[in-house]
Structure 1
Amino acid sequence: MRVLSDMTRRRFGLLTGAGLVAPLTLHAHDGPHLVEVGIESFAFVPDRLEIHAGDTVRWTNHDIAPHTATDKAGGWDTGRIGKGESVEIVFDAAGTYQVICRYHPKMTAEVVVTES
Protein backbone atom coordinates (compact mmCIF):
# COMPACT_ATOMS: atom_id res chain seq x y z
CA MET A 1 0.00 0.00 0.00
CA ARG A 2 1.30 3.42 -0.89
CA VAL A 3 1.47 6.05 1.84
CA LEU A 4 0.44 9.58 0.93
CA SER A 5 2.25 12.57 2.40
CA ASP A 6 0.35 15.60 3.68
CA MET A 7 1.38 17.54 0.55
CA THR A 8 0.08 14.76 -1.71
CA ARG A 9 -3.21 14.72 0.20
CA ARG A 10 -3.58 18.49 -0.27
CA ARG A 11 -2.94 18.21 -4.00
CA PHE A 12 -5.42 15.34 -4.22
CA GLY A 13 -7.98 17.47 -2.38
CA LEU A 14 -7.44 20.35 -4.80
CA LEU A 15 -7.90 18.01 -7.77
CA THR A 16 -11.04 16.57 -6.22
CA GLY A 17 -12.45 20.05 -5.70
CA ALA A 18 -11.67 20.90 -9.31
CA GLY A 19 -13.44 17.77 -10.55
CA LEU A 20 -10.26 16.42 -12.10
CA VAL A 21 -9.93 13.13 -10.20
CA ALA A 22 -12.67 11.19 -12.00
CA PRO A 23 -10.89 11.18 -15.37
CA LEU A 24 -7.68 10.12 -13.63
CA THR A 25 -9.24 7.18 -11.78
CA LEU A 26 -11.46 5.61 -14.44
CA HIS A 27 -10.07 2.39 -15.86
CA ALA A 28 -11.46 0.95 -19.07
CA HIS A 29 -10.97 -2.68 -19.97
CA ASP A 30 -8.29 -2.48 -22.64
CA GLY A 31 -9.03 -5.74 -24.42
CA PRO A 32 -8.82 -9.43 -23.63
CA HIS A 33 -6.43 -10.61 -20.92
CA LEU A 34 -4.85 -13.94 -20.06
CA VAL A 35 -5.38 -14.94 -16.43
CA GLU A 36 -3.39 -17.79 -14.89
CA VAL A 37 -4.85 -20.34 -12.46
CA GLY A 38 -2.56 -22.94 -10.94
CA ILE A 39 -3.67 -26.33 -9.76
CA GLU A 40 -1.55 -27.28 -6.78
CA SER A 41 -1.97 -29.32 -3.62
CA PHE A 42 -5.40 -30.38 -4.89
CA ALA A 43 -6.68 -26.78 -5.07
CA PHE A 44 -7.27 -24.07 -7.69
CA VAL A 45 -4.99 -21.08 -6.99
CA PRO A 46 -6.58 -18.57 -6.91
CA ASP A 47 -9.96 -20.12 -6.21
CA ARG A 48 -11.92 -16.98 -7.16
CA LEU A 49 -11.47 -14.85 -10.27
CA GLU A 50 -13.14 -11.67 -11.46
CA ILE A 51 -12.58 -11.21 -15.18
CA HIS A 52 -14.21 -9.54 -18.18
CA ALA A 53 -16.04 -11.17 -21.08
CA GLY A 54 -13.46 -12.07 -23.71
CA ASP A 55 -10.71 -12.87 -21.19
CA THR A 56 -8.94 -16.22 -21.25
CA VAL A 57 -8.15 -18.36 -18.21
CA ARG A 58 -5.17 -20.70 -18.44
CA TRP A 59 -5.44 -23.67 -16.05
CA THR A 60 -1.99 -25.21 -15.31
CA ASN A 61 -1.61 -28.44 -13.34
CA HIS A 62 1.35 -28.43 -10.94
CA ASP A 63 0.16 -31.57 -9.11
CA ILE A 64 1.31 -35.12 -9.79
CA ALA A 65 -2.34 -36.25 -10.21
CA PRO A 66 -4.44 -35.33 -13.26
CA HIS A 67 -7.24 -32.77 -12.82
CA THR A 68 -9.96 -31.00 -14.76
CA ALA A 69 -11.49 -27.55 -14.55
CA THR A 70 -15.16 -28.16 -15.23
CA ASP A 71 -18.15 -25.81 -15.24
CA LYS A 72 -20.50 -27.34 -12.67
CA ALA A 73 -23.46 -26.35 -14.89
CA GLY A 74 -21.94 -28.28 -17.81
CA GLY A 75 -21.14 -25.35 -20.11
CA TRP A 76 -17.45 -26.21 -20.60
CA ASP A 77 -14.76 -28.63 -19.49
CA THR A 78 -10.99 -28.57 -19.94
CA GLY A 79 -10.78 -32.33 -20.15
CA ARG A 80 -7.92 -34.14 -18.42
CA ILE A 81 -4.99 -31.88 -17.51
CA GLY A 82 -1.87 -33.91 -16.73
CA LYS A 83 1.09 -32.79 -14.62
CA GLY A 84 2.78 -29.80 -16.27
CA GLU A 85 0.01 -29.36 -18.83
CA SER A 86 -2.16 -26.29 -19.43
CA VAL A 87 -5.55 -25.72 -21.01
CA GLU A 88 -7.09 -22.36 -21.89
CA ILE A 89 -10.79 -21.43 -21.75
CA VAL A 90 -12.12 -18.17 -23.25
CA PHE A 91 -15.04 -16.70 -21.31
CA ASP A 92 -17.26 -14.91 -23.84
CA ALA A 93 -20.44 -14.61 -21.74
CA ALA A 94 -20.95 -12.70 -18.51
CA GLY A 95 -22.03 -14.78 -15.54
CA THR A 96 -20.80 -16.63 -12.49
CA TYR A 97 -19.28 -20.04 -13.12
CA GLN A 98 -18.84 -22.63 -10.37
CA VAL A 99 -15.80 -24.75 -11.17
CA ILE A 100 -14.96 -28.26 -9.95
CA CYS A 101 -12.47 -30.97 -10.76
CA ARG A 102 -14.36 -34.00 -12.08
CA TYR A 103 -11.79 -36.30 -10.47
CA HIS A 104 -11.74 -34.46 -7.13
CA PRO A 105 -15.14 -32.75 -6.63
CA LYS A 106 -14.03 -31.10 -3.37
CA MET A 107 -11.72 -28.92 -5.48
CA THR A 108 -13.80 -25.84 -6.27
CA ALA A 109 -13.37 -22.37 -7.68
CA GLU A 110 -15.54 -19.51 -8.89
CA VAL A 111 -15.12 -17.40 -12.03
CA VAL A 112 -17.13 -14.17 -12.15
CA VAL A 113 -17.30 -12.71 -15.67
CA THR A 114 -18.56 -9.16 -16.21
CA GLU A 115 -19.29 -7.36 -19.47
CA SER A 116 -16.19 -5.67 -20.85
Structure 2
Amino acid sequence: MSGRLSSISLVFAVMAVPAKAATIEITMENLVISPAEVSAKVGDTITWINKDIFAHTATAQNGDFDVTLPPNKSATSVLKKAGTVDYYCRYHPNMKATLKIEP
Protein backbone atom coordinates (compact mmCIF):
# COMPACT_ATOMS: atom_id res chain seq x y z
CA MET A 1 0.00 0.00 0.00
CA SER A 2 2.81 2.48 0.78
CA GLY A 3 4.22 2.07 -2.75
CA ARG A 4 0.82 2.97 -4.18
CA LEU A 5 0.56 6.05 -1.92
CA SER A 6 4.03 7.17 -3.02
CA SER A 7 2.97 6.92 -6.67
CA ILE A 8 -0.19 8.91 -6.01
CA SER A 9 1.77 11.55 -4.06
CA LEU A 10 4.25 11.84 -6.92
CA VAL A 11 1.43 12.35 -9.44
CA PHE A 12 -0.07 15.16 -7.32
CA ALA A 13 3.36 16.74 -6.80
CA VAL A 14 3.96 16.83 -10.57
CA MET A 15 0.49 18.27 -11.18
CA ALA A 16 1.11 21.04 -8.62
CA VAL A 17 4.26 22.32 -10.37
CA PRO A 18 3.30 25.39 -12.40
CA ALA A 19 4.07 25.38 -16.10
CA LYS A 20 7.22 27.25 -17.00
CA ALA A 21 6.70 30.46 -18.93
CA ALA A 22 8.01 30.44 -22.49
CA THR A 23 10.15 32.98 -24.31
CA ILE A 24 8.93 33.70 -27.82
CA GLU A 25 11.04 35.53 -30.41
CA ILE A 26 9.43 37.89 -32.89
CA THR A 27 11.72 39.33 -35.56
CA MET A 28 11.44 42.51 -37.60
CA GLU A 29 13.50 42.25 -40.76
CA ASN A 30 13.14 43.65 -44.28
CA LEU A 31 10.04 45.57 -43.13
CA VAL A 32 8.29 42.32 -42.13
CA ILE A 33 7.22 41.05 -38.69
CA SER A 34 7.84 37.32 -38.40
CA PRO A 35 5.94 35.31 -37.46
CA ALA A 36 2.92 37.42 -38.32
CA GLU A 37 0.72 35.44 -35.93
CA VAL A 38 1.86 34.05 -32.59
CA SER A 39 0.05 32.14 -29.85
CA ALA A 40 1.31 32.64 -26.30
CA LYS A 41 0.14 32.53 -22.69
CA VAL A 42 -0.10 35.10 -19.93
CA GLY A 43 3.32 35.17 -18.24
CA ASP A 44 5.26 34.34 -21.40
CA THR A 45 8.02 36.71 -22.47
CA ILE A 46 8.17 38.15 -25.96
CA THR A 47 11.65 38.99 -27.24
CA TRP A 48 11.30 41.56 -30.02
CA ILE A 49 14.33 41.50 -32.35
CA ASN A 50 14.96 44.29 -34.86
CA LYS A 51 17.36 43.06 -37.56
CA ASP A 52 16.84 46.11 -39.77
CA ILE A 53 19.07 49.17 -40.09
CA PHE A 54 16.23 51.49 -39.02
CA ALA A 55 14.02 51.70 -35.93
CA HIS A 56 10.72 49.87 -35.51
CA THR A 57 8.02 49.69 -32.86
CA ALA A 58 5.67 46.97 -31.68
CA THR A 59 2.59 49.06 -30.92
CA ALA A 60 -0.61 47.35 -29.76
CA GLN A 61 -3.75 48.79 -31.30
CA ASN A 62 -5.53 48.39 -27.94
CA GLY A 63 -2.77 50.19 -26.00
CA ASP A 64 -1.47 47.11 -24.13
CA PHE A 65 2.15 47.73 -25.18
CA ASP A 66 4.35 50.06 -27.19
CA VAL A 67 7.91 48.82 -27.57
CA THR A 68 10.51 50.92 -29.41
CA LEU A 69 13.31 49.00 -31.09
CA PRO A 70 16.40 50.85 -32.30
CA PRO A 71 18.22 49.37 -35.33
CA ASN A 72 19.82 45.98 -34.67
CA LYS A 73 18.58 45.84 -31.06
CA SER A 74 16.11 43.77 -29.06
CA ALA A 75 13.71 44.27 -26.15
CA THR A 76 11.47 42.07 -24.04
CA SER A 77 7.88 42.26 -22.77
CA VAL A 78 6.03 39.97 -20.37
CA LEU A 79 2.44 39.25 -21.41
CA LYS A 80 0.08 40.31 -18.63
CA LYS A 81 -3.45 39.64 -19.89
CA ALA A 82 -5.29 37.30 -22.21
CA GLY A 83 -6.83 38.30 -25.50
CA THR A 84 -6.06 38.83 -29.16
CA VAL A 85 -3.83 41.83 -29.75
CA ASP A 86 -3.23 43.29 -33.19
CA TYR A 87 -0.06 45.34 -33.35
CA TYR A 88 1.99 47.26 -35.90
CA CYS A 89 5.08 49.44 -36.38
CA ARG A 90 4.25 53.14 -35.92
CA TYR A 91 7.07 54.08 -38.32
CA HIS A 92 6.02 51.53 -40.96
CA PRO A 93 2.24 50.98 -40.57
CA ASN A 94 2.22 48.28 -43.25
CA MET A 95 4.11 46.06 -40.78
CA LYS A 96 1.29 44.28 -38.92
CA ALA A 97 0.96 41.15 -36.79
CA THR A 98 -1.25 39.46 -34.19
CA LEU A 99 -0.61 38.00 -30.73
CA LYS A 100 -3.16 35.48 -29.41
CA ILE A 101 -2.67 35.36 -25.65
CA GLU A 102 -4.31 32.57 -23.67
CA PRO A 103 -4.85 32.65 -19.89
TM over 0.5, shorter chain:
yes
Does residue 1:51 correspond to 2:23, yes or no? Answer: no
- Give yes or no for the alignment of 1:74 onto 2:63: yes
Structure 1: state its 5+ residue gaps.
1-28
CA shift, 1:36, in A, is 0.4
Task: Give every structure 1 segment of 4 or more consecutive aligned residues whose post-TM-superposition deviation is greater than 3 Å.
Answer: none
Q: What corresponds to 1:64 in structure 2?
A: 53
Taking only aligned residues, the RMSD between alpha carbons, in angstroms, comes to: 1.1
Q: Considering fraction of residues, name the structure with more strand.
A: 2
Q: Provide TM-score, normalisation by structure 2.
A: 0.79
Question: Aligned equivalents of 2:102 and 2:66: distance in 1?
Answer: 20
Instruction: Give the structure 1 partner of residue 79 of structure 2.
Output: 91
Q: Identity over the aligned pairs, expressed in percent?
A: 33
Deviations 1:37-79 (A, max 9, x none): 1100101111100001100111110011110001011221012
**Number of equivalent positions:** 86
